[in-house]
Copies of this chain bind each other. A is one copy, B any other.
Amino acid sequence: MNPKSENIVWHAASVTADDRRRVMNQQGCVLWMSGLSGSGKSTIARALENALLQLGHAAYVLDGDNIRHGLNADLDFSPAARSENIRRVAEVAALFAEAGLITITAFISPYAADRQRARDIITGTGSGTGGRASGRFFEVFVNTPLAVCESRDPKALYAKARAGEIPDFTGISSPFEAPASPDLELPTATMTVETAVRRVIGHLEKTGILTTKGEA
- Chain B residues, Cβ within 8 Å of A58: 20, 23-24, 58, 99-100
Copies in the complex: 2
**Residues of B close to A113: CB separation below 8 A:** none
Q: Is A170 part of the contact surface with B, judged by Cβ < 8 Å?
A: no
In the bound complex, how far is the Cα of B91 from the Cα of A117, in angstroms?
22
Chain A facing B: main interface SS: helix
The answer, yes or no, to whether A95 is at the interface (CB within 8 Å) is: yes
Chain A 58-100 near chain B by CB (<8 Å), digits 1 or 0? 1010100111111101000000000000001001101110111
CB-CB under 8 A from A70, the residues of chain B are 91, 94-95, 121, 127-130, 133
Interface-lining segment among A41-49, A148-156, A160-168: A41-49
Chain B residues with CB under 8 Å of A20's CB are 53, 58
Chain B residues near A1 (CB, 8 Å)? 198, 202
Minimum CB–CB distance for A4 against chain B, Å: 6
Q: Are A66 and B95 in contact (CB under 8 A)?
A: yes
User: Most chain-B CB neighbours within 10 Å: which of A5, A43, A46, A197?
Assistant: A5
- Tell me if B62 and A95 are in contact (CB < 8 A): yes
Q: Is A19 an interface residue (CB 8 A)?
A: yes
Of B11, B51, B62, B99, which is within 8 A of A50 by CB?
B11
A residues near B, CB below 8 A? 1-2, 4-5, 8-15, 19-20, 23-24, 43, 46-47, 49-51, 53-58, 60, 62, 65-71, 73, 88, 91-92, 94-96, 98-101, 121, 127-133, 193-194, 197-198, 201-202, 205, 210
A-B contact sample (5 more), CB < 8 A, given A15-B50, A20-B53:
A1-B202, A10-B51, A15-B46, A62-B95, A71-B95
